[in-house]
Amino acid sequence: MMKPVVDLMVLGILGFPALAVLALGLRAWAYRPWSERATVGIVGFAFTAAVADCALSSVWLLTADVTEVRVPLGSWFSVGHYSFDWNLIADRLSIPFAAFSAVLLGLVASFSRRYLHREPGFARFYLLLAIFGTAVELVVLAGSLDLVFLGWELVGLTSALLIAFFHERRGPVEHGLRAFLTYRLCDVGLLAAGVALHFMVGTSEVGPSTGGPWAGFVVPSTWAGATIVGLLIVWASMGKAAQLPFSGWLPRAMEGPTPSSAVFYGALSIHLGPYLLLRAESILQASGLAAGAVIAVGALTALHATFVGRTQTDIKSALAYASMTQVGLIYVEIGLGFRYLAVAHIVGHAAIRTLQILRSPSLLHDHHHLEQAMGTQLPRTGGHLERLVPNALQPWLYRVALERGGFDALLKDWIVGPALRFIGRVDRWDQAWVDYLTKPSAVRERRSRHDEVRP
Amino acid sequence: MMIAFAALQLLLLLPMSWVVGRSNSSRTARHRASYTIAIAGIVALAHLAWSAFSLPGLDWTAHWLSMETPYSWAPAFSLITCLMGFTAIALSPISETRPTTFRRILLLISVALVFLAIRHPIGLAVLWSASALITWLELRDLEQPRGIAKLFAIYHLPSAVAFALGAILLTQGHSAAGLVLLLVGIGIREAVLPLHSWFPPFVQHAPMGLVVAFFAPQLGVYAHLELLRGELPHQLAHSVASVGAITAVVAAALGLAQTNGRRALAFLIMSQTGLVAFGLDASSPVAQIGALLTWQVIGVATAGFAMTLASLEARRGNLSLTAPVGSFTRTPRMAVAFLFMGFASVGLPLTLGFVAEDLLVQGSVDEFPVLAFALILATALNGVAVMRAFFMLFSGSAEHIGECDLTRREAGALTLVMAMLLLTGLFPGGTVRRLEHVTGDQGHIATEPDLGAVGDGHRRAAKMETGLEIDRF
């Protein structure tokens, strides 16, 4: 008898932020934005209601001794055998994430009220925050990879727009575009994984529980199939989680407002990659190779980020690399199959990192405050790595770390640059053909000029 | 009833196009043309309602025109054509659109509406040439650049000739040569690689309203459905689908390298039409419906995107994408419309574009696993192209150069388009079901034993003689 009520509660976790998007979006389009107080009230209420729904759902799960509740909302569209269904799932993995996300989003909404007071983009920030909240809850509660993709795309879009929040400066805009490019390239993996799952097992839905702590996506019957899907999911997760070699956007993403940096790159967006891996863990373990890839990517990223982070001279970049390091370690935990450890690590890391980023504008003040309280200078930390690395290697390592491991240069000089130059050349050939058709005389003149300067 | 409603629309559009062309000023012409196309849209809406509620039609058949049993989706496309015409007219800047141009836009929309109502190859060929001629006349009148009309003629004269010859050969039963000629004609119009070179300069230099009216109705897709559907041999269909996919990917990549807003738009549209070409020739009904939905998305979202770009250009001048030099502080609505429309055209979640691309990819993976992956890559690159254009045009500068936001007229038109995209995206069931009839029909045709093997043009000739319509099953 309680099932319909629980279904509604699970739906509410997603529905309240969505309604906030509607309320803010329609008024903004009509040129009648809500007042600051009303805006914060709407967003705050939406996330508070989502938290309450999460709490009630988890209480029901515990008291009814049920491991999961599935909420089928019907088919969005279907053609022949293919159907895109809306199914939500509330279980031991999704409910803690959903609750945690709603709490953090509500707190950030409350914090930003003073932080962004009278900021020209105040309404825009809250609208994007509400869209982001809806998208995160959709990813977390999604009962299929198709639905995950839906929320995943919206997370990427809001993330890029918030990085470029201070749009009158070029830096944030260029960094927002870079982040978006990385997201889109990695989103290819997620959509391809969904398509591959449909092709191999006929569905991309979360399958029945097979004895693990939570249910995962249906595993393809062959090792090759599981490996392909697993690697595609790993590829998809690397973009959002800023793992090597897609890590360059994260320190640049800190150009956005501090509250959005905190909730996106300290807490929620960056942990969606690990969340996806946790949901797909059955596929990763069935493959083995994919699980190994997760470990390798995580370990390399953690090593890279911990070295590079130590050479950063601004607090936000240092925190970005610290986040990257921790997420790399979470990857290793997931790859090794330590599921509960990974979940605890995610929650703990997200909480502390959000706090650190939110306090980062007051860093000097806090530093002075601490020194005054202690009556002495704060001791230097992080020296253990210096003791481990041989002296002869330290200058070289320092230089490599300053250059961020050379990954940015590698991407720019060896991949993006040549690709764009080649595309540009093809475009010029096309334009030359058009010139030949419309102005043959101009082409002949150009050719003769070219011949003249040729030695 | 298709013919009755199409005739009603023609009775309105043709005289009014003459009136619009005689207007004293572009502003008056736009005003008149907007109302005209709005009324034509209401007629299309009435047609849709008539068809949805299965109200009784005229008991009249025309064997030559074969109009009385239209596709179940034809009324919806008629409405979409009016909507894209309305967008093209309401958002056309008067700085680049003369009264004569508005007249030609109305004529192009009229041609598109009749094209949807006619199913005879020769009739289609006549309309095909007429639309190219109207557009060429407009390009000929342009002062700059002088070569654009010539370039257009170099490509579209062969297109018209190939289409006409193909249609004649098809009706005479010479199917193989006819099909190839039709493919060439349609390929040029749809700007698939390597027959595309006319398209970027066309979008770059022609009045944007004319570009939308000429290209957005995608007459080539309808011609493909009407004349080639189920006729192509498997190998040829496979090749055409591959060319479509290659066009989608290459155009998406080329779009990233553009430094002019209009050229970037041209490659975005090319990439989208490549997706349509790919899906139409895939054998899976799921992919075909995805292609048909992409056709609608091009008609609505890409047309809205193009016209928003034109509105911005009218305020700012040349739209360079070399560096971020805009600011959306004073033009928030225009920025939102640009971003929404751009992403809706490349598959923003919860819009019709997302549904279209999801079906396209899911439906094609079985037959074209590698190309399906390429399609995913193309949509990803298109998304980057839209975001890049948004950032370059609407951000990066603190200076306000006097640009005003969307006027009430522009905002009204774009609100209508955005609402349609969102509503059809949130509730795509009805749209998809209507399109299912098309692919269902094809399956029936392909298995119909008494009409010969697939690819046999005699089947069409036999149908023309007996007055049997393709989808009367």
* Integer Cα distance of B194 and B189 in angstroms: 12
DSSP E strands in B44-201: the ranges are none
**Nearest Cβ partner for A153 among B257, B349, B377:** B349
Flag whether residue B388 sits within 8 Å of chain A, measured between CB atoms.
yes
Quickly count: other Cβ atoms within 10 Å of residue B383's Cβ. Answer: 25
Q: State how far the Cα of A249 lies from the Cα of A253, in Å rounded to an integer.
A: 6
Residue B222 CA to chain centroid, in angstroms?
9
Q: How far is CA B176 from CA B182, B226, B457, in A?
A: 10, 16, 8
Q: How far is A199 from chain B (nearest CA, A)?
A: 7
| DSSP secondary structure, A305-328, as one string | HHHHHTT--SHHHHHHHHHHHHHH
Of A31, A195, A430, the CB nearest to B361: A195
Q: Which of B152, B391, B408, B416 to mutate to test the interface with A (most CBs of A within 10 A)?
A: B391
Distances (CA, A) of B219 to A126, A224, B384: 43, 44, 28
Helix (H) / strand (E) element for B384: namely helix B369-394
CA–CA distance, B220 with B198 (Å, rounded to integer): 16
Number of domains into which chain B is organized: 1
CB contact under 8 A, B362 and A29: no
Domain boundaries, chain A: 3-364, 424-455
Q: Chain B closest CA to A447's CA: distance in Å?
A: 19
Q: What is the DSSP string of B177-217?
A: HHHHHHHHHHHHHTT-TTS-TTHHHHHHHS-HHHHHHHHTT
Pick from A177, A185, A420: which is nearest to B391 by CB?
Answer: A177
Separation in Å, CA A187 to CA A180, A201, B25, B210: 10, 21, 49, 35
- Rounded Cα–Cα distance for residues B152 and B135 (Å): 9
What is the DSSP secondary-structure string of A328-376?
A: HHHHHHHHHT-HHHHHHHHHHHHHHHHHHHHHGGGHHHHHHHHHHHHTS
Measured in angstroms, the CA of A67 and the nearest CA of chain B are apart by: 30
Is the CB of A82 less than 8 angstroms away from the CB of B286? yes
The residues, ordered by sequence, that sit 6+ positions from A341 with a Cβ below 8 Å of its Cβ are A333
Residue B51 lies in a domain: no
B427 Cβ neighbours under 8 A, 6+ residues apart:
none
Cβ atoms of residues B112 and B299 within 8 Å: no
End-to-end, the C-alpha distance of chain B in Å comes to 18
Nearest alpha-carbon partner for B138 in B241, B213, B33, B50: B213
Residues in A closer than 8 angstroms to B354, CB to CB, are 150
The rounded distance, in Å, linking the Cα atoms of B194 and A434 is 12
Residue A78 phi/psi, 5-degree rounding, is -150, 145
The crossing angle, in degrees rounded to 10, of helices B458-466 and B148-171 is: 80
Backbone angles phi, psi at A82, to 5 degrees: -90, 130
B58 in a domain, yes or no? no
Structure token pair of residue A375: 């009556």
Burial (CB < 10 A; 0-12, 13-18, 19+), residue B15, is: exposed
List helix spans (H) across A142-208. 145-163, 170-201
Residues in chain B within 8 Å Cβ distance of A437 = 147, 150-151, 154, 197
Do residues B34 and B19 make contact, with C-beta atoms less than 8 angstroms apart?
A: no
Domain that holds residue B379: 233-427
Asked whether residue B121 is assigned to any structural domain, the reply reads no
Q: Tens place of pLDDT for every residue, chain B, 473 residues?
A: 667 788 888 888 899 989 988 888 989 999 999 999 999 999 888 888 887 776 665 555 555 454 445 556 677 888 888 998 999 999 898 888 889 999 999 999 999 988 888 878 888 999 999 999 999 999 998 877 778 899 999 999 999 999 999 999 988 877 788 888 999 999 999 899 899 999 999 999 899 999 999 988 888 888 888 788 777 788 888 888 889 999 999 999 999 989 999 999 999 999 998 988 888 888 788 888 888 888 888 788 888 999 999 999 988 888 888 888 888 888 889 999 999 999 998 888 888 888 988 898 888 888 888 888 888 999 999 999 999 999 999 988 887 777 888 888 889 989 999 998 889 888 888 788 777 766 654 443 333 333 333 334 444 444 444 333 333 22
What integer pLDDT is reported at residue B163 of this predicted model?
93
How deeply is B45 buried, as exposed, middle or buried, from its count of CB atoms within 10 A (0-12, 13-18, 19+)?
middle
Give the residue from chain B lying closest to A417, CA to CA.
Answer: B257
B184 located within any domain: no
* Separation in Å, CA of A376 to nearest CA in chain B: 45
A30 three-class SS: coil
Beta-carbon separation of A79 and B289 below 8 A: yes
- Closest CA relative to residue A295, chosen from A272, A269, A277: A277
Rg (CA), chain B: 21
pLDDT in tens, chain A (455 residues): 578 888 899 999 999 999 999 999 999 888 888 899 999 999 999 999 999 999 999 998 888 888 888 999 888 888 878 888 899 999 888 999 999 999 999 999 999 998 888 888 899 999 999 999 999 999 999 999 999 999 999 999 999 999 989 888 888 899 999 999 999 999 999 999 999 998 888 888 888 877 778 888 889 989 999 999 999 999 999 999 999 888 888 888 888 888 888 888 878 889 999 999 999 989 998 988 999 999 999 999 999 999 898 888 888 888 999 999 999 999 999 999 898 999 999 999 999 998 988 888 888 888 888 888 888 888 777 677 777 888 888 888 888 888 888 888 888 888 888 998 999 999 999 888 988 888 777 666 666 655 554 44
* B396 contacts A168? CB cut-off 8 A: yes
**Distances from the Cα of B300 to the Cα of A70, B418, B419, angstroms:** 36, 9, 11
| d(CA A404, nearest CA chain B) in Å | 25
Q: What is the ipTM of this complex?
A: 0.91
Give the Å distances, CA to CA, from B364 to B42, B275, B291, B358.
37, 11, 11, 10
Which amino acid makes up residue A180? F
Is B276 among the domain residues? yes
B36 CA: distance to closest CA in chain A (Å): 27
DSSP string covering B31-58: HHHHHHHHHHHHHHHHHHHHHHTT----
Number of A/B CB contacts below 8 angstroms equals 134
Contact A80 B365 (CB under 8 A): no
Q: State the pTM of this model.
A: 0.89
Name residues whose C-beta falls within 8 Å of residue A235's C-beta, 6 or more positions apart in sequence. Answer: A186, A188, A189
Contact: A170, B396; criterion CB under 8 Å: yes
Asked if A221 and A287 count as a contact pair (C-beta separation under 8 A), the reply is: no
Within 8 A of A120 by CB-CB distance, chain B residues are 329
How close, in Å, is residue A138 to chain B by CA atoms? 12
Nearest CB among B254, B350, B362 relative to A198 is that of B362
Nearest Cβ partner for B387 among A146, A167, A180: A180
* Tokens 């979202």, located at residue: B301
Q: At what angle do helices B74-90 and B26-52 cross, to 10 degrees?
A: 160
Q: Which residues of A touch B380 (CB under 8 A)?
A: 184-185, 187-188
User: B339, B362, B384, B417: which to substitute to probe chain A, counting the most A Cβ within 10 Å?
Assistant: B362
CA-CA distance, A237 to A275, in Å (whole number)?
A: 9
The Cα–Cα gap between B47 and B178 comes to 34
* CA pair distance B75, B113, nearest whole angstrom: 10
- The C-alpha of B349 sits at a distance from chain A's nearest C-alpha, in angstroms, of 6
Ramachandran sector of residue A33 (left: φ over 0; alpha: ψ -120 to 50; beta: rest): beta
Amino acid (one-letter) located at B275: L
Residue of chain A nearest B395, judged by CA positions: A167
> Do residue B428 and residue A76 have CB atoms under 8 angstroms apart?
yes
**Quick check: B29 contacting A, CB < 8 Å?**
no
Task: Round to whole Å and give the CA distance between B307 and B328.
Answer: 17
**Backbone phi, then psi, for B19, in 5-degree steps?**
-60, -45
